[in-house]
């Protein structure tokens, strides 16, 4: 079974790393807790997850890999979801039950995987994932640096992130052109941002679409014509200088102005 570029496949070849990733879920002491693995490929991570969890399901888009898993992992009988993870209704996978998300994620859709998880965050309290190192750094980045961006703010609005393992490119077959890293995201207890979440997302995305410009220029199209708020010295800042609270404040300011 050779890796396919069309699926962004790079197979982990280190058993110790696979076992370490499987052990990184905080719910490992609960064998009954549901777990969903994304992109299992040939099952390097899957076999360690099966040792720890009786309620494991996997999502695999490559039909050849689905056939491989069915043949080599009979324990997954009726537990393989054949298809695109980004089209899966995560709320229905375990009939509404909460589950942990894990995987050696395809790098070509890794940011989309995070956004899909955020959409269904009510049923995903924890995620452990292998990402391209650059993407892993961006997801957990703090304000003030070049790594800090849209995915940093939106992920950290709902999850606390932590770097777990740095993984060298030689640990994969075929080796990718980039380094990799495993991170864990744990859902925050308080999921209420205290603002219009659609407006919040719009503010974040609009701000970073032209990240080198001051906020007064990038956010001007969102503010009602004639409003003076953008004249405040605060809006001379650039988006990477703002934390989550400040983006929420901007969203609330816009909501207030639009309600007049």
> Is the per-residue pLDDT at 30 higher than 90?
no
H-helix segments, 141-241? 150-156, 197-209, 215-218
Do 5-187 and 197-259 fold alike per CATH?
no
Cα–Cα–Cα angle for 49, 5, 99, rounded to 5 degrees = 25
Condensed to tens digits (0 to 9), the pLDDT of residues 100-126 reads: 999 999 888 999 999 999 999 999 999
Out of 3.40.50.300, 1.10.8.100, 1.10.760.10, 1.10.1740.10, the CATH code matching 197-259 is: 1.10.8.100
CA distance 46 to 110: 19
Q: Is the pTM of this model over 0.95?
A: no
pLDDT computed for residue 258 by the predictor: 83
Q: What percentage of the chain exceeds 90 in pLDDT?
A: 87
Give residue limits of the domains in the chain.
5-187, 197-259
CA distance 164 to 136: 10
Closest CA to 102 of 164, 158, 151: 164
Sign of CA dihedral 64, 67, 72, 78: positive
> Is the per-residue pLDDT at 2 higher than 70?
no
Highest mean pLDDT among 45-49, 103-107, 254-258: 45-49
How many residues comprise the chain? Answer: 260
CA distances (Å), origin 231, targets 108, 220, 237:
40, 11, 12
Condensed to tens digits (0 to 9), the pLDDT of residues 123-160 reads: 999 999 999 999 999 999 999 999 999 999 999 999 99
Tell me the average pLDDT of the chain: 93
What does CATH list as the number for 5-187? 3.40.50.150
CA distances (Å), origin 195, targets 47, 104, 155, 161, 191:
43, 34, 16, 22, 11
């Amino acid at each position: 079974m050779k890796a396919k570029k069309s699926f962004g496949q790079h197979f982990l070849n280190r058993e110790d790393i696979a076992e370490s990733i499987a052990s990184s879920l905080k719910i490992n002491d609960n064998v009954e807790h549901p777990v969903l693995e994304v992109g299992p490929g040939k099952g390097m991570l899957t076999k360690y997850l099966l040792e720890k969890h009786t309620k494991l399901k996997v999502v695999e888009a490559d039909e050849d890999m689905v056939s491989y898993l069915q043949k080599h992992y009979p324990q997954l009988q009726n537990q393989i979801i054949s298809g695109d993870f980004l089209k899966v209704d995560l709320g229905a996978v375990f009939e509404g039950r909460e589950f942990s998300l894990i995987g050696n994620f395809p790098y070509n859709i890794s940011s989309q995987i995070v956004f899909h998880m955020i959409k269904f965050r009510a049923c995903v309290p924890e995620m452990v994932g292998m990402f391209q190192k650059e993407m892993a750094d961006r997801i957990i980045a703090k304000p003030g640096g070049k790594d800090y961006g849209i995915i940093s703010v939106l992920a950290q609005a709902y999850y606390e992130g932590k770097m777990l393992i740095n993984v060298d490119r030689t640990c994969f077959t075929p080796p990718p052109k980039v380094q990799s890293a495993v991170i864990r995201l744990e859902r925050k207890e308080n999921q209420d941002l205290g603002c219009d979440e659609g407006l919040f997302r719009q503010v974040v995305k609009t701000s970073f679409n032209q990240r080198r410009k001051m906020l007064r220029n990038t956010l001007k199209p969102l503010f009602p014509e004639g409003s003076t708020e953008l004249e405040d010295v605060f809006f001379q800042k650039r988006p990477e200088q703002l934390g989550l609270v400040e983006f929420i404040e901007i969203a609330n300011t816009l909501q207030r102005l639009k309600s007049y």
